[in-house]
Amino acid sequence: MPLWNPSSSANNLKCWIRGNGQRTVSGTDIIALYDESGSGNDIDQVASSPDTKPQTGRFINDIPAWDFTPVDITNGAGLWSATDADILEADDHDLQLTIVFKRDAVSANQTIIAEHAFGNSLSIMGRTSDFRIPVDTSGNLDFGSTTTSAAFIHLQFDDSAETLTAFLNGDSGTSDTGVADLRKGSTNRQFGIGIEGNASGSGRTRPFDGLIAELFVYHGVAAGGGAAEQPISFEREISEGYVAHKYNITISTASHTYKNGPPTACHCVAKQTLSTTLLSASVKNPADLQQGLNVFDERR
């Protein structure tokens, strides 16, 4: 049976960029990464000299990654979108983001991913002791611990509960509640990886030092089931299982559904889809329909 990947759950997929996906290079310089979600959110803006550009030639678990090497604190090695993509915008719906990375060095305030700059962005930053997400004007969400091994972060925003939770390598998660709006008021929401900054050329601070191999973002429920069919925790475990086994990263939680094997494509089938299929097959007895749904629950 085929394994799950983000394209298995096209519903609400906002951005999917991967190291072994579509890209434009000049020599060893990576100058554009192309969104495979169908949403057109390409990461195709890169600073000119003296900034360095992400490089080819390095891997995580033999899978190509983007190599970020900052040259100084002002000018970095990141890429960003040409338009205001609102990839991390999360008003009025759930948001799920997964990113795979490896830090080459542990230093303060390395931006792994961000939307815009100047303290007005939603970002994930690596620090000397942990990771940080500026949640709103009143505080930050600090989570996990420093690592220079390959790792993944899953960011999950539950809109109805106004809860932001960050998971490092499939751990139990660290949450901040009462988060009504993940954005911090900036009108420019260009999306960047490996840097905090925008196309104006200024403010490109806190550059990332290391590898980024893949990221994908969903608005709404990732696996296509809708909130009534699939809980948000089920969506998270699918995403984590996919990247953990693809990049050979150990999942921290022993009880994780995909601790010992990756999700298959059938896991993204929603109960609603199954219900419709059974009904169209002329299932007349409601008990038979419920039995089919119970089997789906047991096997997913």
Element (H, E) at 294: helix 286-299
Write out the residue range of the structural domain in which residue 82 sits. 6-263
- Asked if 238 and 280 sit in the same domain, the reply is no
* Together in a domain, 228 and 282: no
Q: What pLDDT does residue 76 have?
A: 58
Domain shared by 130 and 160, yes or no:
yes
Q: Is residue 73 part of a domain?
A: yes
- For residue 43, tell me if it sits in a domain: yes
**Integer angstrom CA distances of residue 18 from 63, 101, 248:** 9, 11, 16
Flag whether pLDDT at 60 surpasses 80.
Answer: yes
Task: Give the domain CATH number at 94.
Answer: 2.60.120.200
- For residues 41 and 215, the answer to whether their CB atoms sit within 8 Å is no
CA-derived radius of gyration, the chain: 20
Looking at the structure, do residues 124 and 141 belong to the same domain, yes or no? yes
149 in a structural domain: yes
My answer on whether 84 and 132 are in the same domain is yes
Does some domain include residue 279?
yes
Q: Indicate if 199 and 300 belong to the same structural domain.
A: no
Pairwise CA distance, residues 194 & 3, whole Å: 29
Residues 277 and 142 in one domain: no
- For residue 239, the model assigns a pLDDT of 92
Confidence of residue 290 (pLDDT cuts 50, 70, 90): very low
| Mean pLDDT along residues 237-250 | 96
Place of tokens 């905090």: 196
pLDDT at site 291: 43
Residue 271, pLDDT above cutoff 80: no
Looking at the structure, tell me whether residues 250 and 278 fall in a common domain. Answer: no
Q: Are 186 and 289 in a shared domain?
A: no
* Per-residue model confidence (pLDDT) at position 92: 59
Give pLDDT tens digits for 62-95: 999 999 887 655 555 678 776 666 677 655 567 8
pLDDT at 207: 80
Alpha carbons 300 and 281: distance in angstroms, whole number: 21
28 and 175: one domain?
yes
The verdict on residue 208 lying in a domain is yes
* Res 293: pLDDT: 40
Q: What is the 3-state secondary structure (H, E, C) of 47-80?
A: CCCCCCCCEEEEEECCEEEEEECCCCCCCCCCEE
- Return the pLDDT at 98: 95
- Among 175-189, 204-218, 234-248, the least confident range: 175-189
Check residues 99 and 222 and name the one with the higher pLDDT: 99
For residue 200, being part of any structural domain is answered with yes
| Per-residue pLDDT tens over the stretch 23-33 | 999 899 888 99
Based on the domain organization, do 181 and 288 belong to the same domain? no
What is the mean predicted confidence (pLDDT) over 188-217? 74
Q: Is the bond preceding residue 50 a cis peptide, omega within 30 degrees?
A: yes
How does residue 144 score in pLDDT terms, banded at 50, 70 and 90?
very high
Of 179-193, 212-226, 230-244, the poorest mean pLDDT is in 179-193
Percent of the chain whose pLDDT exceeds 90: 32
Q: Are residues 68 and 139 in the same domain?
A: yes
Q: pTM of the entire structure?
A: 0.82
* Mean pLDDT value of segment 92-119: 81
Q: Indicate whether 1 belongs to any domain.
A: no
Residue 167 lies in a domain: yes
58-62, 85-89, 160-164, 240-244: the lowest-pLDDT one: 85-89
**Given pLDDT bands bounded at 50, 70 and 90, which one contains residue 101?**
very high
Q: What is the pLDDT of residue 300?
A: 40
Total domains, the chain: 2
Asked if the model's pLDDT at residue 169 lies above 90, the reply is yes
pLDDT for residue 262: 95
Q: What is the mean pLDDT of the chain?
A: 76
The pLDDT, as a whole number, for residue 275 is 38
Six token digits for residue 112: 């792994």
Residue 100's pLDDT band, with cuts at 50, 70 and 90, is very high
- What is the per-residue pLDDT for 62? 97
